[in-house]
Structure 1
Amino acid sequence: MTKRVLVTGAGGPAGVAVIRSLLRRADLEVFAADMDGWASGIYLVPPVRRRLVPPGRDADFVPAIARMVAADALDLVISTVDVELIALAERREEIAPAVLAAPSADTLNTALDKLALAERCAPTGLTPRTVAAGPAAQAVDWEFPVFAKPRRGAGSRGVRLVADRAALDALPTDEGLIVQDFLPGEEYSVDVIADAQGDIVAAVPRTRARVDSGVAIAGRTVADPELEDAAAAIARAIGLVGVANVQLRRDRAGRAVLLEVNPRFPGALPLTIAAGVDIPSLVADLFLGRELPARVPFREVASVRFLEDVIVEIDDVLVSDHAGHQEEL
């Protein structure tokens, strides 16, 4: 029986990758939405399945999705945007009978708060020392340099290297900063999917050889049991059901430790799919109540990203009041 799936955030790399993955399935009818009519992923689906939505922070965002669920008889809603995920996860009942393909609100809120994440994952032994800026951080005997970064926020925005004790003491206390041990080693992203019981179906590490605007545009998958086990332990600690991207970096001793968790589809998803783990398809099956394999293997492959144009007729371009294609916390 064909199921109807709405994918939002269709202008971002993750949204495009999810839409392309699901369009390969004959049993799914894919709708695409974004707050920007120029979002490229909207135009990957037929015109009758293209939608515009308010920004995720807008009071009408969740009601708008609920109206689409009713009008389009949607079975599943997949969002690829942090702000939208939080809004929807905390009000899942409003989009019933459609199912939201997302972890719990508790998992999302924990992952998106770096201090809460470090505290939740501390029992794994995989977290760097993490302390709120201010008196608590000033009382720690750090090995400088250290990092200061916002508790909430994606990518490298607001991250600063703190060279010495004087710079630490000078950090503002009103910006929600945390202080962490400096991690000088290589960074890895591990794409993880967990089933309904929280068991890890796949954990695919990949390098970030080239990064643009926080998204890896070149890299390779890496078969490394330490990275796979570390990401799996982090996913279990936060109660993950569904998909998350666990970012790890090697510390001064060469050990892989937690950097952050993005509890959504990653922008570099095509590499993981090419390696043999079609995460969007698995997530669709998971939240549609279908049984997943106990384990999905992957192979080592590499990818580079290139610009691709989607050509549409002028009359087919959706008119939107919103200029941006993606929101983040």
Structure 2
Amino acid sequence: MTRVLVTGAGGPAGVAVIRSLLRRDDVEVLAADMDRWASALYLVDADHRRLVPPGRDEGFVDAVRELCARDRVDVVFCTVDVELPRLAAARDDLGALLASPSLATLETCLDKLALARACARTVRVPRTELVGTPQATSGWEFPVIVKPRRGAGSRGVRVVASQAELDAVHDEEDLLVQELLPGQEYSVDVLAGLDGHVVAAVPRARLRVDSGVAVAGVTVHDEELVATASAVARAVGLTTVANVQLKRAADGTPALLEVNPRFPGAMPLTIAAGVDMPSLVLDAVLGRPVPERVDFREVANVRYLEDVFLGVADVLPAR
């Protein structure tokens, strides 16, 4: 029996990974989060629920390392952006296999400016400049997008309508200014083997988004989107899973917006389309054979809240 620890049990990505792995009869899932009210903690048995410090906490990595030793964990799945680089940096002495991209890939993807530069010769990338540099001051066709250089979930992203408004933007948060693309936006879930070979790329149209998470969508067969996302994955050296966000330029060409180098919150749609990425990643990390190519079907979904009821005494005590 393979013992798997999944962190980020309070987020939709953590819920998706836990639910995927719970369907396997050869896997024992432990769920972890910093919050005792994290919903997916209560998808597993009481003796498989764990609390950890916040990802930015000085003791976070040590706490995960101690859990791996105490619980005899074989594989760790991390679903939280802030936790990923810290665990990847400790990969060699974590005491368990880490199902995540390399630290170099994570650092490239989590820095949107570095990502744009890494992919500029491979795929269409909208013009992207760092606010406060001479290159960012002129030559724009408005409106443009201003966004944090680092961060996820559409936090801090805003539309700037004029040169005067752009001139008033101050670089207090390491901001980027980026060409605004007019076309349809897509998210492409990409699975790559440990050798970097792209096994699957599943485009999703994000039909309704709440706080950066798609709550209604549809998978779409579009070879141009698949080819673009696969090229991005190769450019950043992806292994395991990432979510590549694309948007069509005025001429219809798919262009790169950003890459989330982890399991996305909308992963259940990709799984329902026939590509169970968490399960496939587990096999790859364990050295088991995975298919050369996995195809998907077109399906749609809507998301809704689901309640988990339990006795008050069953809620984990505060740390």
TM-score range, shorter chain: over 0.9
Give the stretch that moved more between structures: 129-138 or 186-195. 129-138
Within the candidate set 280, 283, 287, 1:282 is matched to 280
**Counterpart position of 2:293:** 295
How far residue 48 of structure 1 moved from its aligned partner, in angstroms, is 1.2
Give the stretch that moved more between structures: 139-148 or 51-60. 139-148
In the superposition, the TM-score normalised over structure 2's length comes to 0.97
What RMSD over aligned residues (CA atoms) do the two structures have, in Å?
1.1
Which residue type is aligned with residue 262 of structure 2? Answer: R
Within the candidate set 100, 115, 118, 1:117 is matched to 115
How far residue 271 of structure 1 moved from its aligned partner, in angstroms, is 0.4
Q: Percent identity?
A: 63
Give the stretch that moved more between structures: 136-145 or 46-55. 136-145
**Counterpart position of 2:67:** 68
SS in 2 for 1:83: coil
1:101-138 Cα shifts (integer Å, max 9, x gaps): 11011111110110000001111132111111123334
**Counterpart position of 1:269:** 267
Within the candidate set 226, 229, 233, 1:231 is matched to 229
SS in 2 for 1:249: strand
- Please say if residues 130 and 136 of structure 2, whose CA atoms lie closer than 8 Å, have aligned partners that are also in contact: no
CA–CA distance in structure 1, aligned partners of residues 301 and 136 of structure 2: 43
Which residue type is aligned with residue 155 of structure 2? Answer: R
Which residue type is aligned with residue 229 of structure 1? Answer: A
CA–CA distance in structure 2, aligned partners of residues 164 and 183 of structure 1: 16
1:234-274 Cα shifts (integer Å, max 9, x gaps): 01100000100000011122211001100010001110000
CA–CA distance in structure 2, aligned partners of residues 204 and 24 of structure 1: 21
Which residue type is aligned with residue 197 of structure 1? Answer: D
Q: Closer, same or farther in 2 for the Cα pair 1:136/1:292, shift >3 Å?
A: farther
CA–CA distance in structure 1, aligned partners of residues 224 and 138 of structure 2: 29
Aligned residues: 319
Question: Displaced runs of 4+ in structure 1, greater than 4 A?
Answer: none
1:144 aligns with 2:142: yes
SS in 2 for 1:154: coil
**Counterpart position of 2:165:** 167
Q: Closer, same or farther in 2 for the Cα pair 1:317/1:119, shift >3 Å?
A: same
1:99 aligns with 2:97: yes
CA–CA distance in structure 2, aligned partners of residues 300 and 118 of structure 1: 30
How far residue 142 of structure 1 moved from its aligned partner, in angstroms, is 1.7
CA–CA distance in structure 1, aligned partners of residues 234 and 226 of structure 2: 12
- Please say if residues 134 and 169 of structure 1, whose CA atoms lie closer than 8 Å, have aligned partners that are also in contact: no
Which residue type is aligned with residue 104 of structure 2? Answer: D
* Structure 2 stretches lacking a partner, 5+ long: none
In the superposition, the TM-score normalised over structure 1's length comes to 0.94
Which residue type is aligned with residue 126 of structure 1? Answer: R
CA–CA distance in structure 2, aligned partners of residues 138 and 265 of structure 1: 32
**Counterpart position of 1:324:** none
